[in-house]
């Protein structure tokens, strides 16, 4: 490719950050020192273009070190990876965590999403506005901004401080200094902004699991009981039995067990996992991939975070099994960018597994080669969509692709790929430990096993709860401290899900039960709102979320989400006839979004608002 | 002499289009079938020389049994499929897409769209005077050859595909930003002369809205002298090099005002280089006439 680069030069720190990831520039053609030898040959072609997938890691490297992406830094990355500068700019501007303008090294992300709004995020932002100035204005070496759900809803209101700088011990792949402040108070935030390295430590993941230690837990059983950093402890608690069993069964046997177990995907679409693996494994193309979708960005969802922080080896083992079943030798773990602790723990766990021969050329001495690469997202909900995740990993804008072709046919790098959610994968462990029949004995015939629910909002004991499929919403709320007085509504399934009324608490929490009630389990969100919550504002927040997170590719979603948000603002304080015209407008726009959007984001963006109108009588 | 590669013979696909049995070749799209059947489906982001991006969704049709509507421009016909092009749902989506676009973009130079707005009863004004729009984005006039008016841009991706790996391989422009704020930009949204652009104008050739236009057209429109009815089109052969690309000269008042290229030319498919596209000044800058 004959690319034209710009004349902008990177600073020493920017160059060092990129070189740490990619190694020093070998020649002047790639932005290194230019010498006479460079004039006698040209580099480029396929080999150079092959590393396009390092674009996002390289952008992260600079952002981690310097805090923003200058023209010089971007140009240097382009030269190193043979990426057209316009495209790199298009990619960098796609992600909310990057800035192409200078900004302070310390960025404070304050969640104003549904669960946090229900727990007083407004007080936090008001206080910050008066003490630090309005959002987005740098002050005292820091800048704060409002953020969508940070996946810390059990400790709402939540905030995350990220400070760019030298990567601390632990090396590449980990975020720079980051501090979670949740529940956030203005004082704690100011302290954390001043010195994130010395912020009060986060409570351990088990703090998010009120059921911890109780008998009967399957997916959460090791959280809080096994040391998440210690591979031996993981093995002492039953770790790596499933992988051994998998090797004994062979790939086809594993797929048979997983199919027979009735396991359905937990990422939202409830697709049968066995069928997905079978379809991937039976492709004639030999290079296949596994992608673990750990982008967890659906507002109100934090179960994957708790699993990854509390039991990281389980995911490493489960990915190895999935890779073995579908015939993949490389698995990508795409982790949401705002999960610094999960990143550190998974990075550590993968390293340990590698040193102990549980990842690598010859896993457990069975002649099967498999390794895992962790890729960080950079603030884009849409990258959790199963084809957008491929584009993101490949170094393109995280825009969903047209289906067909489906991921099992042409996925990551155009190869057959199985994409699975974290919780889905971790379910494979009990399937292989105890067999499909034992697994399927829990739950209902069409929703087998147990399910994690993320209970947050106005409840006494928010957290991740594990219940067998078939428990009712009321059962779940009882575990979480009881049905709160003045209950107004429960948002089930996330921002792309729907609201249930207080008289609908006996809905069985199964895929079929939710469907029959006109709802969806989605990603397991159970967001409880009492009557102190301003429903129209919550609906505006939902609409804002989708407006912000729309990739912008298709008209129904790109413009429709904006028109819906505008209408919801207009009727925020109106009821009845005064709101009727805009409610009708919302429905018409909602219909085209649902019918004609390219991907699930646009297709479901209006679900929650519609259900609030139809089921809760908002605006009546 | 041109030789046309025949490829493997394609099978015939039989399916139902608006209640009538139709036949197309395997790989053909629903739009191909509609065109063959004389049905007029609106399209905006579809381009006859490009891989469908199916981004605008104005061409959606209803496929029986499918949860969502299908873009006719890219969905391949399948045996036994039952397609309805004028169903209530399909018409609703088309009307809304037109309303959403017309309320957020300046469509004043987009061909056909006024007719569709009337045909589908679209009322873009109903979103109110405060509806967010990109129509106010100023024109980027930063070179002598062509102008970019992103207030008219519907984000169809066609220019990017034409500049990138589908035709030109220059990669001067890309989609930047996200959501409603997406735009087409060179790196750092800078001026074209600082970018990799080689002024082939192949992006102008495919732009469906007039967001990209010859500087001559832009200035004549501003002066109120642009008059398509008074223009003639003459297809000739570019005299610069031996390739022999076809040029279509748009002439008004005996002056070349724009240069296109036939999309059905099997060699160039509407693409040119800077010389064919913009190198016509010598024809009219005859000494003494300026
Ligand atoms: C806009 C959007 C965002 C999504 N985000 C996630 C996510 O963060 N994590 C996830 O596992 N699935 C997410 N999904 C669902 C995935 O597309 C996909 O269905 C899932 O990862 C498949 O895994 P499973 O079969 O194990 O559920 C998202 C879907 C859409 C449309
Ligand atoms: S529905 Fe929204 S997120 Fe999905 S492709 Fe269209 S614009 Fe992008
Ligand atoms: S004129 Fe040619 S090189 Fe320049 S942006 Fe358009 S297609 Fe790309
Ligand atoms: S400038 Fe024209 S071709 Fe490019 S995206 Fe906009 S409307 Fe499409
Ligand atoms: S962390 Fe604020 S809503 Fe989830
Ligand atoms: S013309 Fe078919 S989606 Fe745009």
CATH number at residue A128: 3.40.30.10
Pairing of the two strands A106-111 and A142-147: parallel
Chain A hits for B189, Cβ within 8 Å: 89
Chain A residues whose CB is inside 8 A of the B176 CB are 86, 89-90, 93-94
What is the rounded distance in angstroms from the CA atom of residue B10 to the CA atom of residue B7? 9
In this structure, the residue with its CA closest to atom 2 of ligand 3 is B200
Residue nearest to atom 29 of ligand 1 (CA): A385
Contacts A269 to B, Cβ<8 Å:
none
Task: Please give the distance, rounded to the nearest whole angstrom, from the Cα atom of residue B157 to the centre of ligand 6.
Answer: 11
Task: Write down the H helix ranges in A262-339.
Answer: 273-281, 303-310, 312-326
| C-alpha distances out from residue A178 to A107, A124, A266, A504, Å | 10, 19, 29, 41
Rounded to an integer, the average pLDDT of B29-36 is 97
Does one domain contain both A240 and A330? Answer: yes
3-class secondary-structure state, position B140: strand
Q: Which residues of B touch A74 (CB under 8 A)?
A: 187-188
Q: Residue A101 falls within a domain, yes or no?
A: no
Q: Is B186 in the pocket of ligand 3 (CB under 6 A)?
A: no
pLDDT tens per residue across span A403-441: 889 999 999 999 999 999 999 999 999 999 999 999 999
Compute the average pLDDT of residues A68-82. 97
Chain-chain contact of B89 with A595 (C-beta, under 8 angstroms): yes
- Identity of the residue in A86, A90, A555 whose CB atom sits nearest the CB atom of B97: A555
Contacts of B154 in chain A (CB under 8 A): 555
Substitution site in A116, A202, A544, A608 for ligand 5 pocket (most atoms within 8 Å of beta carbon):
A116
CATH code: domain of residue A604: 1.20.1440.230
Closest CA to A414 of A405, A423, A426, A424: A405
Kindly report, residue by residue over A560-579, the tens digit of the pLDDT.
Answer: 999 999 999 999 999 999 99
Q: Contact B180/A559, CB-based, under 8 Å?
A: yes
Same domain, yes or no, for A409 and A340? yes
Q: What b/e string do you get for A186-197 counting C-beta neighbours within 10 Å, with b at 16 or more?
A: bebbbbbbeebe
Q: Which of A120, A149, A379, A457 to mutate to test the pocket of ligand 5 (most atoms within 8 A of CB)?
A: A149
Extents of the domains making up chain B: 11-133, 139-284
Residue A223 lies in a domain: no
Which residues sit with their C-beta closer than 6 Å to ligand 6? B 43-46, 54-59, 71, 73
Which has the higher per-residue pLDDT, A168 or A348? A348
Q: Which of B92, B176, B178 sits opposite A89 (nearest CB)?
A: B176
Residue of B nearest to A7 (CA): B194
Partner residue facing B69 (CB), from A548, A588, A596: A596
pLDDT bin (cut points 50, 70, 90) of residue B3 is low
Percent of chain A whose pLDDT exceeds 90: 91
- Substitution candidate for ligand 5 out of A119, A147, A151 with most atoms within 8 A of CB: A151
CA-based nearest distance B36→chain A, Å: 24
What are the helix (H) ranges across chain B?
A: 30-36, 88-104, 113-119, 158-163, 202-206, 215-223, 274-278, 281-284
Q: Is residue A176 pLDDT above 90, yes or no?
A: no
- pLDDT interval class at A42 (50, 70, 90): low
- Contact criterion met (CB below 8 Å) for A148 and A337: no
Are both A152 and A53 inside the same structural domain?
no
d(CA A91, CA A74) in angstroms, rounded, equals 11
Is there a contact between B61 and B48 (Cβ–Cβ < 8 Å)?
no
Token representation of residue A349: 């766990």
* A342 plus A426 within the same structural domain: yes
Closest ligand to the CA of B168: 3
Cα A552 from Cα A560, distance rounded (Å)? 10
Is the pLDDT confidence value at A292 over 50? yes
**Interval A451-466 mean pLDDT:** 97
How confident is the model at residue B289, as a pLDDT?
47
Mean pLDDT calculated for residue range A305-316: 98
| A24 and A86 belong to one structural domain | yes
- The per-residue pLDDT for range B263-278, each reduced to its tens digit, is 999 989 999 999 999 9
Q: How confident is the model at residue A140 (pLDDT cuts 50, 70, 90)?
A: confident
Q: Is A252 in the same domain as A339? A: yes
Q: Do residue A113 and residue A164 come from a single domain?
A: yes
Ligand closest in space to the Cα of A336: 1
What number is the average pLDDT over the span A571-588?
98
Q: Is the model's pLDDT at B57 over the cut of 80?
A: yes
Judging contacts by C-beta atoms under 8 Å, the chain A residues touching residue B175 are 90, 397, 552
Instruction: Using the predicted structure, report yes or no on whether residue B142 has a pLDDT greater than 90.
Output: yes
Q: Residue A522 has which token pair?
A: 């989605």
Q: Give the ligand whose atoms come closest to the C-alpha of residue A120.
A: 5
Architecture label for domain B11-133: Roll (3.10)
Q: Nearest residue CA, atom 8 of ligand 2?
A: A551
Boundary residue ending a domain (A390, A419, A440): A440
Asked, for residue A150, whether it belongs to a domain, the answer is yes
d(CA A572, CA A570): 6
CB contact under 8 A, B96 and A592: yes
Among residues of chain A, what percentage have pLDDT more than 70?
Answer: 96
A215 within some domain: no
Which residues of A388-482 form beta strands (DSSP E)? 417-421, 443-444, 447-448, 450-457, 463-468
Per-residue confidence band for B290, with pLDDT thresholds at 50, 70 and 90: very low
Ligand 5 binding residues, C-beta < 6 A: A 111, 113-116, 149-153, 156, 158, 299-300
**Pick from A503, A530, A557: which residue ends a domain?**
A530
| Number of Cβ within a 10 Å radius of residue A154 | 27
pTM of the model: 0.96
Least CB–CB distance from A3: residue in B96, B171, B177: B171
Q: Which domain holds residue A587?
A: 535-615
- Is A596 part of any domain? yes
- B35-41 contact pairs (CB < 8 A, 24+): B39/B85, B41/B72, B41/B85
Residue A333 has pLDDT above 50, yes or no: yes
**What's the confidence (pLDDT) of residue B283?**
83
| Cβ within 8 Å, pair B100-A589 | yes
Asked if the model's pLDDT at residue A191 lies above 80, the reply is yes
Q: Are residues A390 and A285 in the same domain?
A: yes
Q: Are residues A30 and A120 in the same domain?
A: no
- Write the pLDDT tens digit of every residue in A218-255: 999 999 999 999 999 999 999 999 999 999 999 999 99
- The answer to whether the CB atoms of A550 and B100 lie below 8 A apart is no
How many Cα atoms are found within 13 Å in the side-chain-facing hemisphere of A365? 1
- Count CB-CB contacts under 10 A for residue A169: 5
Query: Nearest CA to CA, how far is B182 from chain A (Å)?
Result: 6
Chain A partners within 8 Å of B54 (Cβ): 402, 554, 598
Q: A202 lies in a domain?
A: no
Does domain B139-284 fall under CATH 3.30.70.20? My reply is: yes
- Residues A452-480 have a mean pLDDT of 98
CATH of the domain at A420: 3.40.50.11540
A32 and A152 housed in the same domain: no
- Same domain assignment for residues A35 and A144: no
**Same domain assignment for residues A506 and A396:** no
Q: What is the pLDDT of residues B169-205, one digit of tens each?
A: 999 999 999 999 999 999 999 999 999 999 999 999 9
**In this predicted structure, which of A43-57, B61-75, B130-144 has the lowest mean pLDDT?**
A43-57
Ligand 4 centroid to Cα of residue B102, in Å, is 15
Mean per-residue pLDDT of chain A: 95
The response to whether residue B157 sits with its C-beta less than 6 Å from ligand 4 reads yes
Please report whether residue A284 resides in a domain. yes
In a domain, A572, yes or no: yes
Q: Count Cβ–Cβ pairs < 8 Å, chain A vs chain B.
A: 159
- What are the residues whose beta carbons fall under 8 Å from the beta carbon of A236, sequence distance 6 or more? A226
Q: Give the mean pLDDT of A117-143.
A: 95
Structure confidence at residue A33 as a pLDDT band (50, 70, 90) = confident
Q: Which two tokens stand for residue B86?
A: 């004028």
Residue A508 maps to which CATH number? Answer: 3.10.20.600
The interface predicted TM-score (ipTM) is 0.95
Q: What is the pLDDT of residues A343-393, one digit of tens each?
A: 999 999 999 999 999 999 999 999 999 999 999 999 999 999 999 999 999
How many domains are contained in chain A? Answer: 5
pLDDT at A40: 60
- Ligand 3 center from residue B260 Cα (angstroms): 14
Under 8 Å between Cβ of A479 and A210: yes
Alpha carbon distances (Å) from A390 to A48, A299, A375, A414, A416? 20, 22, 11, 9, 11
pLDDT at A30: 78
């Amino acid at each position: 490719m004959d690319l034209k680069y710009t004349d902008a030069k990177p600073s020493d720190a920017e160059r060092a950050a990129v070189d740490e990831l990619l190694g020093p520039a070998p020649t002047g053609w790639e932005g290194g020192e230019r010498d006479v030898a460079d004039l006698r040959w040209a580099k480029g072609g396929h080999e150079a273009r092959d590393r396009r997938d390092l674009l996002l890691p390289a952008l992260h490297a600079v952002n981690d070190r310097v805090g923003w992406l200058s023209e010089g830094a971007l140009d240097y990355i382009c030269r190193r990876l043979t990426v057209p500068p316009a495209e790199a700019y298009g990619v960098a501007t796609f992600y909310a965590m990057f800035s192409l303008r200078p900004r302070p090294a310390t960025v404070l992300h304050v969640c104003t999403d549904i669960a946090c709004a229900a727990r007083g995020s407004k007080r936090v932002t008001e206080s910050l506005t008066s003490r630090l100035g309005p959002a987005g204005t740098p002050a005292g070496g820091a800048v704060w901004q409002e953020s969508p759900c940070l996946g810390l809803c059990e400790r709402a209101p939540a905030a995350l401080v990220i400070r760019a700088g030298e990567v601390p011990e632990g090396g590449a792949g980990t975020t720079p200094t980051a501090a979670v402040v949740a529940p956030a108070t203005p004082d704690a935030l100011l302290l954390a902004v001043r010195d994130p390295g010395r912020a009060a430590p986060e409570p351990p993941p088990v703090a998010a699991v009120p059921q911890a230690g109780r008998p009967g837990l399957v997916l959460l059983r090791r959280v809080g009981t096994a040391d998440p950093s210690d591979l031996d402890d993981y093995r002492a608690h039953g770790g790596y039995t499933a992988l051994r069993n998998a090797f004994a069964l062979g790939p086809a046997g594993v797929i048979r067990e997983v199919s027979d177990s009735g396991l359905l995907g937990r990422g939202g679409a409830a697709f049968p996992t066995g069928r997905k693996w079978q379809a991937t494994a039976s492709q004639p193309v030999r290079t296949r991939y596994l992608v673990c979708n750990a982008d967890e960005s659906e507002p109100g969802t934090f179960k994957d975070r708790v699993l990854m922080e509390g039991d990281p080896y389980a995911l490493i083992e489960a990915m190895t099994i999935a890779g073995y079943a579908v015939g993949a030798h490389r698995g990508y773990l795409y982790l949401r960018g705002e999960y610094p602790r999960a990143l550190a723990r998974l990075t550590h766990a993968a390293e340990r597994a590698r040193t102990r021969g549980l990842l690598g050329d010859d896993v457990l001495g069975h002649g099967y080669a498999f390794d895992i690469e962790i890729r960080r997202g950079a603030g884009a909900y849409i990258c959790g969509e199963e084809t957008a995740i491929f584009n993101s990993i490949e170094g393109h804008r995280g825009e969903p692709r047209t289906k067909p072709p489906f991921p099992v046919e042409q996925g990551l790098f155009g190869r057959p790929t199985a994409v699975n959610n974290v919780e889905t994968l971790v379910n494979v462990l009990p399937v292989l430990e105890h067999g499909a029949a034992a697994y399927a004995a829990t739950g209902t015939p069409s929703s087998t096993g147990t399910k994690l629910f993320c209970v947050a909002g106005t409840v006494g004991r928010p957290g991740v709860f594990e219940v067998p499929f078939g428990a009712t919403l009321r059962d779940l709320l009882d575990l979480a401290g009881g049905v709160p007085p003045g209950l107004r509504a429960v948002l089930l399934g996330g921002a792309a899900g729907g609201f249930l009324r207080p008289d609908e608490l006996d809905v069985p929490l199964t895929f079929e039960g939710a469907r029959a009630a006109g709802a969806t389990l989605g990603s397991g969100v159970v967001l409880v709102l009492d009557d102190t919550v301003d429903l129209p504002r919550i609906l505006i927040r939902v609409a804002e979320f989708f407006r912000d997170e729309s990739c912008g590719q298709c008209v129904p979603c790109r413009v429709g989400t904006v028109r819906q948000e505008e209408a919801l603002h207009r009727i925020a304080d109106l009821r009845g006839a005064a709101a009727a015209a805009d409610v009708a407008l919302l429905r018409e726009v909602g219909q085209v979004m649902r019918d004609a959007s390219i991907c699930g984001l646009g297709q479901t963006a209006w679900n929650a608002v519609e259900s609030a109108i139809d089921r809760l009588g908002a605006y009546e | 002499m041109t030789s046309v590669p025949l490829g493997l013979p394609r099978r015939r696909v039989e399916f139902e289009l608006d209640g009538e049995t139709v036949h197309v070749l395997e790989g053909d799209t629903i739009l191909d079938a509609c065109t063959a059947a004389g049905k007029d489906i609106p399209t905006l982001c579809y381009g006859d020389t490009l891989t469908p991006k199916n981004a605008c969704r104005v061409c959606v049709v209803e496929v029986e049994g499918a949860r969502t509507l299908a873009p006719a421009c890219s969905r391949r016909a399948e045996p036994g499929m039952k397609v309805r092009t004028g169903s209530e749902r399909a018409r609703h989506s088309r009307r809304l897409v037109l309303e959403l676009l017309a309320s957020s973009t300046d469509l004043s130079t987009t061909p056909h769209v006024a007719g569709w707005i009337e045909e589908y009863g679209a009322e873009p004004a109903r979103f109110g005077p405060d509806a967010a729009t990109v129509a106010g984005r100023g024109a980027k006039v930063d070179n002598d050859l062509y102008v970019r008016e992103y207030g008219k841009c519907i984000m169809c991706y066609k220019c990017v595909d034409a500049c990138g790996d589908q035709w030109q391989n220059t990669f001067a422009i890309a989609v930047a930003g996200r959501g409603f704020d997406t735009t087409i930009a060179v790196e750092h949204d800078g001026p074209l002369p600082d970018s990799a652009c080689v002024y082939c104008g192949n992006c102008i050739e495919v732009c469906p809205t007039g967001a990209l236009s010859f500087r001559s057209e832009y200035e004549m429109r501003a002066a109120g002298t642009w008059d398509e009815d008074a223009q003639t089109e003459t297809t000739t052969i570019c005299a610069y090099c031996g390739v022999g690309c076809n040029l279509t000269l748009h002439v008004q008042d005996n002056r070349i005002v724009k240069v296109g290229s036939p999309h059905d030319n099997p060699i160039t498919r509407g693409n040119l280089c800077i010389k064919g596209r913009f190198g016509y000044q010598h024809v009219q800058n005859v000494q003494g006439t300026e």
